[in-house]
Amino acid sequence: MTDAAFEAAAGKIRAGDRDGLREIYDAYGDTIYRLFLSKTHHREDAEDLTSDYFLRLWECAGEYRPGQGHRGWMMTIARNMATDHFRKHSRMTPVEDAEAAAPGAFTEHTSAEDTVIGEMTVTALLDRLNEDEQEIVRMHIAAELTFREIASILKRPLGTVAWKYRTAMEKLRRLAKEGEIV
Check residue 101 and give its pLDDT. 43
Chain segment 73-105, per-residue pLDDT in tens: 888 888 888 888 877 766 444 443 334 444 444
CATH code at 11? Answer: 1.10.1740.10
Q: Can you give the residue range of the structural domain that contains 82?
A: 1-93
Residue 22 domain-assigned (yes or no): yes
Whether residue 141 lies inside any domain: the answer is no
The pLDDT tens digits of the residues spanning 119-163 come to 445 667 777 888 888 888 888 887 777 888 888 888 888 888 888
pTM of this prediction?
0.56
Three-state secondary-structure class, residue 173: helix
How many other C-beta atoms can be found within 10 angstroms of the C-beta atom of residue 89?
A: 12
Counted domains in the chain: 1
Q: Which is it for the CA torsion 12, 77, 34, 5, positive or negative?
A: positive
Give the model's pLDDT for residue 19.
92
C-alpha neighbours within 13 Å on the C-beta side of residue 1? 24
Does any domain span residue 58?
A: yes
